Structure 1
């Protein structure tokens, strides 16, 4: 279905496109900006309807007529149901199919029940939740793709609505499409209680009691200024928080106040109003009939209630710069202030004052001003005096909206509480900050303070990549992976894919396909074969060095020089060359072996502080020096060398074809309905006593983390940082849960570890670990389970 067909209006139907000339549209196309029921009342303005559709596009649009009927039924205040039902009943008697009449009766019952839902469900985000619940998988639903195309087409050319506003003849298919949808909803939700219970089974978000203009999504007009803040090292911390605050901010950017908008004619009559505007004909009724009509809102009045108009007000932001508000809380305070001032929807004037010993007006319009004012600090510990003087001496304007931003600790002071309480009628919003990145917004309304929202900012993520001082203009620092440590309290799972395996001085090493030098171990725990299975001999590994500049060709040998640096030798028979690389200093030497008569079956080995090109049956072999200038010289083969080679091969055979299947392509991380952690379609499952492993997930994912490169962030702020080498770092937003680690492997059982404790398969326990050993089940219930529970409780 295209955009014109979706928004098409029809003759003798219950709704039509109209124009309200007094209310301009921010798209620039001001005609056909209102949808109304003829002679009954307005349904909604076009910007609000488009915004509602944006909220529904991911699940697909319902039929447009059905959506309009629902929007009218859930309007706040009086709804002229009789006027709405008049057109529906007229359709049912218009010679259409008999089934249409039955469907209309069901639709009317559904709308009646819907209009009776509690007021809280008809406001703000709760209304969107209600619409999403009702129209999820509804009859005649458009696909998400088609819905997206309709929105994009409208955004590109709003004037296209004019074509849809030209009425066509009403046909049976249109009626069936709209009414059948509501009739089926009536069967699904036969009572008001069933609607309410279903919606509350999702999430009811408390809404601000101020009316907020519901309009199109945020267009980031302040983006350039925020970008400048991010690119400047001195304001990077402040700037990097602004957009994240924007994304969650629920502070109303405009207020509405009643206006006057006489229309004239029949549409200028309403079912409610003042007695002095009641039509004279109403008084002609008998007294009982007259009182009955008034009581039931059936009496008619002149000049209907009209949509509110915008009320221009001045916003004042007060920032605490006392000693107690120093550090991270102060950074959050300035970021919050800039987020309010530069918010794309904010069109009112805004003044900023910093409070110390006195209130000082400041400006935050340039990067330099932000730097200077952010560095300002007052020696006082409490700004209650400055706050009190602010209200007493200077600012008593009726249209002021005052924000006060301070630290959570400062609000606990009894003097501060006294001043805030005494000025609660003029102090509209109180914002508190904390050192762990938490913002809390409170609103004073009718003499009481109401907590309206909490924003948890992931400071570690947002501040992970500060700009360099010589940063090139235009770079925004995006696309950088979250840094991971070289090693963890746990050993890494040992990879199956490798270039070479070495035995040096009784220690086992691996040159992996990822150009890493890994150190691995053989387990001396043979009594419990079930734990290790095919990894019963080999344990995990630790990283010695990474990003080795080497091509995976030829033969390799490993040793250490007198300085203790690892030396990697590489022999390439086809090129007749040998090279030596110091893995710590990067010092590289290469020697061309052309001219030396080296048999093709010679191999590169290490023995007694030298490398050798060696053949078992040959009397003469070649020695390659470990230090100094690279050279090759002939030498005698010996029994000791043969014995060492044989022993090394025997030991290395223990690791042949060993290794685990590492999960390193992380397609998604979430929590399933069984409250288990899911990693790339594999859930962490209890297998047997004290044993857990990753197995195929078979249940629904309840909440999924947002991915940014190798970091997955849940809605509560908890993070899972992935490491392609086979390790996960789990960081809960609940600071009482310490950071803990888990390997990501399909083979064998899993372990969990913090910086102090370890539990699970000993395959991952470092050789010389000082970690406290605990049962895996205890580790799971002490760390993983609270981590998951906190995420799920936040989502609920």
Structure 2
């Protein structure tokens, strides 16, 4: 971590704030209450970044003053007590503390609207935009990605002499409170702050435009489930309902007495454990009893679950706290809807979402379901929400509670205490995981019993696509020649980069706009795979972005350029980009574009603009609905959640400023006279620090900076891509015939047994251990031969195994792609072959995977360097 950043976020012993819950919460020292959640602080720092950052302590005190339950008085008392304790000689309590106090009390009295959501971040921006002791944007521009990775996990100030600790403490107090005291002189009353916040002119209200009729005769779906499946925001939950209805077993479904007879013949079964076998069976002699056991004729006692009370009132509590966002939250809503709308449930069931707060969830139609799913909660656990709901409800024996959460969130000590205190009111607990596992527990006397476990195939269920609505055909512009050549797509994924301008999409399907205005796609996270570069040109000067799916199922990227006030709508399937003028755009307190369903929105004051991506792109102005700001806030929270799930730790250092390239006397490529490309004894390819003995040059390349190209004397060249790799291009290859024997992808359950059965008494030359890995889901190279005759003879050995092998002539004259990431395992790829670290293997690859990286390295990189030395030295 940058030492200056470390100093900025370090915690000073005796100061007023500390970190709790693994760095997720910034709280007052010694139980001083929550000041701010770390994600919200980082979001605010990003928001005010163009104006610089104030001292961290000053910003935290402003957050404390604007909290609903402000604890700023306690924090000031703590600071004063620490000053008194550390005072020595002429060093006493700084006058800045008393001078800053009026501003903090003034912030406490601001209207609630200015102390929540985006308005609160704008308040911080107005307060600190020209504050004393602030850090300039040039200095801190690279700090924010680091903070998003590590949080505020800086170590406390190191221990030292008492005088040194005292000086560090008072320097921090002076810097923070001097900033606030000067702001107190600038903002002396509430009107001064509100005037600064209302500096932008308001747009005069225009008459609301009438809604245009939708072309076509397609009527909206009337069926509740069908409506959920057709809407992109409810599709994931709706896709799970039929599977849950078919397999879910919870007590609330046993509400029909005629379906659950108590006692009688229904309690007898011919399956069970011996401790439940009827005593009358022992009346038979031994042979008869054994015969009955063998033929499954023995009777066992199996009492069926008693049905629920006819007049019970059921409430489903869904945990929507921070630990349950993402898949767990979608599963929770799907389970609640499956219970409430099950065909066998006759009575109405109430659904309540709980987190730090609690709120009811309506589910009568798709709009109500969307409203419920959009509401998120920032609590770390659901204890407060459960307590608040139970406190508002009378202790009613008829009321039965079902709680839906994850094992991790439900295991929090405060949640367990709340449930324990009201144990008699719960009848069922349903635990979920992000991978789709559902565990149903039922209350049996004073304990919980596992009633059922099931796993939902989320990947399969969520692959279903929404049915496209019929629309008039529209000609699609083909890719330009430049785009087509660029889209001759790379046979390698690009290494991740920390320079992220905007992250969009959804869990497992990320779209990234980098600071260099390039577009990437990532289907995986947690460092498992690299990024796929998308061959589309983002409109010039674009600074704001959003992503939605249009009515035809195509992803549309909105790109807005404030310079020129133009909106670009880039179709990520066709590459076509529609450009629209947006002359009415003005900077707003809600500056981001956002989307609802298939339409983009922008709001400013009472005005709202809709941007329709197609089939006829257009921008219309209308009056902003009352809940539009809530939609905006929900979407901002969603993007924050998305950023939290996206792991950016995988970004590795690149070699970006390349100035020299040569081949040393050992036939290795050396870049910048600092890193050499090597193949180690384990077959791993790496760029490593070059040693002195490897710096002896055999052939130098000339660097053409304008073209990002290194050219060797024989004409062979190395192209440097700004996407994180180099491309080796040979112009004078020697003719050498080689043939690969390739095993295409094929699935056989027991690989070893299959090969042993058909190995023709061990006559196959290669060992089973070398061959068995080739039967799988990727085409792989089995072996390489110098002639077609030898390759076909090898294939004949497997004629009795039913394993499909084929001989393919090797093309030596191929471009070679090598990542520029240093000190880590790399891959090499050609248009037809791939070897090495599968982090770089494309998602839908068609390459043949070579098992031995050394083999492909020798026939590509070594071949490239040896030909240059032979022809160009």
Same fold, TM-score > 0.5, yes or no: no
TM-score in terms of structure 2 length: 0.28
Which of these two proteins has the greater Rg computed from alpha carbons?
Answer: 1
